Amino acid sequence: MTPTHFASVRKPSGPRLMLPAILSGLFLLGMPAGPAPAQPAPAGAALLPSDIPPGLAQLAQPDEAPPPAPFAATRQYSFKELGAQYPMNLRGVDASNSLPFSVRADEVATGMRLQLRYAYSPALISELSQINVLVNDELAASIPVPREHAGRSLQQEVELPAYLLSAQNVLRMQLIGHYTLDCEDPLHSSLWANISNQSLLELATTRIALEDDLGILPLPFFDARDRTELALPFVFGGKPDTVTLEAAGALSSWFGALAGERGADFPAALDSLPAQGHAVVLLGSAQQAAAYGHAELRGPTLALAANPNDPQGKLLLVMGRNSGELKQAAQALAAGSQTLAGPVATVTQFEQPRPRQPYDAPRWLRSDRPVTFGELADARRLSVSGYSPDTIRLDLRVPPDLFGWRAKDVPVDLRYRYTPQPTSVNSSLLLAVDDVFVKSLPLFALERLEDGQTLRKQVLADETLPMRARVDVPLALLKPRAQIQLRYMYDYIKQGECRDIIIDNVRGTIEPESTIDISGYPHFIAMPDLAVFAEAGFPFTRMADLSETAVLLGDDAGPAEYSAYLNLMGRMGESTGYPALGVTVAPASQAGQQAGKDILAIVSGEQQPLLREWARYMPAGYEGSTRRFGTSDLVYRIMGWFNPDPRQNAEPVRASVSYASSGVSALIAGFESPLTARRSVVVLASNQPEGLGDAVRALRRDASHAEPVQGSLAIVRGQRVDSLVAEQTYTVGELGLLKRIDWWLSGLVPGASLLKLAIVLLAALGLLALALALLRALRRRRAGQ
């Protein structure tokens, strides 16, 4: 529980209580009570030591209070991390914007502070205006808006009372604004304040130890209340074999799916616990389990225990008498953690989940049927209120291989409600995708709608009018990570001076029954394309459980390779929302046994037989201390990636460059599998193990990486990413017969299509029929002569 603080008032007692009586008695007896002040102290003035009689000076000393402890932030969140994708623009006499935040289950908040960056209008009247900070709808602070500081960027540190906090909280920034003492327009353009989304919310917290109970999982290893990146070490009891690594991949992908867009990092270690915090420990033998206090295992076992290096840290022990049992325990945890309880649990039976089907990832937009908006967001997030409401946002994960060449746009069946105004106004509902405007739907007043009396009868009990419209969204806007944005823009009619009384009772709702339908598009994409790998883990995530994926690790793999593998599995889980229960891990020396699978290879060091074996297929590679790269003019043609016809992105290799260097670099290369046609290989390679971490961070594209990973080859040097080659060499997916013929014809003759071919064939047949008719007529004429 979060402690509650109260301000206490202490009644005077003892000598402090007797002091006024003693002074009064001395005054009545005419006795001197010390030097009299020349002038009476003004009301509210502090009593100086020189004003107190010497004999009573000690009695009048106040209790000494210890100085307050300095604020020490242990958690820091920017407003952007809390959900404010853009600065908060507060407009009107009473405007506000809210951000949710939470306190971790294993922490108690003892302090709260804002590092606020803001600006406000020079027109605001200082005596009547202020910016309020509310926590859980209680006023926490009020910030004045003096005119001398208006119209410029300001920074202020604002202490907030911690007793307002609970487990789940809402921070609300509110503008109370006035620009005149006379009649004012409550939505006047001069009433504004801007709160930067780079402002910070800081929390001072104290850690507490949770009980050893598997029923609290995924706590404390993952806490949904925590908005920061998940950092969770994985510790192996010894050098792991491939089955143990498969178990670890299932767990890291599970945690990655839980972490979502906040991201996750899984550093790996061999039999070395972290000095502080939590960790996942994988023990694949009875001897390893005995070292952690579990001498007698009866099968696949899960346990929760304290970290011996940190009493408040926890260890999640995943154990088995062999690596097979260890994997079974990991899969049971990833698939059914909700059924666990107690400090230790032994898996007595585990039934493998049913096989996944292509493109059925829980987090991906279904491509076999229309998807309702209610499946994409909670219904409460689809309703807004006020003349300047928040934007309704729907996050989409779209399969990256939808083939939209010469296809119709994506149909959106939009059902919505709004509060109709009685007279004409210029209100509208705007639809955009990733801030790209798509369509504006007018919100007509009742008097402008046909048969207004009938429509008035359709107004619902909440005084909203249901409407329906079809919106066509270009498929090119629906990237693997896309967001549909719907914003109600309400207007109002000014009635003249002193008549602008606005009742803020307008409402807008997007019905959960609204749908988006991508089922009309085939799955077909030209490869390699590292952009879809970086954004969605494709083509490996085509199967949500990665059952058609093989991960190859160098025969001399160590913690750097293990960490890169775990982080990539976490990225796959984040994309699909499902753990990688079917992934296969194998040493690079057994690559030939992975035919029929998509291959993800992770290797480091200058002597890698796999790189030499596949050198003729790869656009780049390491050969001892020498680095070889195929280059093209891609760096000058990066905009070509967005051409609807992916064949026009193809660029032949212009030159081959080799050089020797001792600096750390990494490469990410994609190419067709040498083992199976139309299967894909992605290689993460570095000349030194630490370079693999740079490659993983580049794929994650954190704030330090400005350039994305794309094309068929990316070179990573620290925080710099260069995409050098874009060779389209093969395709993945299937097209229907007619579409494939159309695709083939357009490749033979630019601009050709099946429709054009049909027209040409019909015209040719018509000419042939006409020629035959003329020939018959001529023959009859000759026969008649």
- Between strands 107-120 and 130-135, the pairing is unpaired
In terms of pTM, does the model score above 0.85? Answer: no
Calpha distance 656→632 (Å, rounded): 9
- The closest of 274, 348, 345 to 314, measured between CA atoms, is 274
Q: How many CB atoms lie within 10 A of CB 242?
A: 15
pLDDT band at 448; cut points 50, 70, 90: low
Average confidence score pLDDT of the chain: 83
- The closest of 149, 98, 89 to 124, measured between CA atoms, is 149
Residue 169 dihedral angles phi and psi, to the nearest 5°: -135, 160
Q: What angle do CA 474, 733, 432 make, to 5 degrees?
A: 15
DSSP readout, 698-713?
Answer: HHHT-TT--SPP-SSE
SS3 (DSSP) at 26: helix
Residue 205 pLDDT greater than 60, yes or no? yes
Q: What is the pLDDT of residue 446?
A: 74
Q: How many CB atoms lie within 10 A of CB 749?
A: 10
Residue 217 tokens, joined: 């999982």
Calpha distance 609→554 (Å, rounded): 9
Average pLDDT over residues 263-273: 95
CATH topology for the 75-207 domain: Jelly Rolls (2.60.120)
Q: How many CB atoms lie within 10 A of CB 88?
A: 21
Residues 103-135: pLDDT tens digits? Answer: 999 999 999 999 999 999 999 999 999 999 999
Residue 675 pLDDT greater than 60, yes or no? yes
Calpha distance 336→224 (Å, rounded): 18
Calpha distance 426→416 (Å, rounded): 17
Calpha distance 416→263 (Å, rounded): 34
Calpha distance 28→276 (Å, rounded): 69
CB environment 707-728: b (16+ within 10 A), e (fewer): ebbbbbbbbbeeeebbbbbbbb
77 dihedral zone (left: phi>0; alpha: psi -120 to 50; beta):
beta
Q: What is the pLDDT of residue 188?
A: 87
Residue 454 pLDDT greater than 80, yes or no? no
Residue 231 dihedral angles phi and psi, to the nearest 5°: -120, 110
SS3 (DSSP) at 355: coil
Residues 384-440: pLDDT tens digits? Answer: 988 878 899 999 999 999 998 888 999 999 999 998 887 767 889 999 999 999 999
Calpha distance 758→535 (Å, rounded): 39
Q: Do domains 75-207 and 376-516 have the same CATH topology?
A: yes
Torsion angle defined by CA atoms of residues 586, 301, 577 and 234, in that order, rounded to the nearest 10 degrees: -60
Contacts of 785 (CB under 8 A, 6+ apart): none
Calpha distance 263→696 (Å, rounded): 12
Residues 577-597: pLDDT tens digits? Answer: 999 999 999 999 999 999 999
Q: What angle do CA 488, 490, 494 make, to 5 degrees?
A: 175
Calpha distance 706→696 (Å, rounded): 14
Q: What is the DSSP letter of 228?
A: S
Calpha distance 301→217 (Å, rounded): 15
Average pLDDT over residues 82-97: 90
Task: Please state the domain extents for the chain.
Answer: 1-34+49-61, 75-207, 243-346, 376-516, 524-733, 737-784
Average pLDDT over residues 338-352: 88
pLDDT band at 749; cut points 50, 70, 90: low
Residue 65 pLDDT greater than 60, yes or no? no
Calpha distance 325→311 (Å, rounded): 29
Residues 304-337: pLDDT tens digits? Answer: 999 999 988 999 999 999 999 999 999 999 987 7
- The closest of 253, 265, 249 to 697, measured between CA atoms, is 265
CATH number of 376-516: 2.60.120.260
pLDDT band at 23; cut points 50, 70, 90: very low
- The closest of 605, 594, 612 to 681, measured between CA atoms, is 594
Average pLDDT over residues 512-539: 94
C-beta of residue 327 within 8 angstroms of C-beta of residue 320: yes
Average pLDDT over residues 225-249: 95
Residue 5 pLDDT greater than 50, yes or no? no
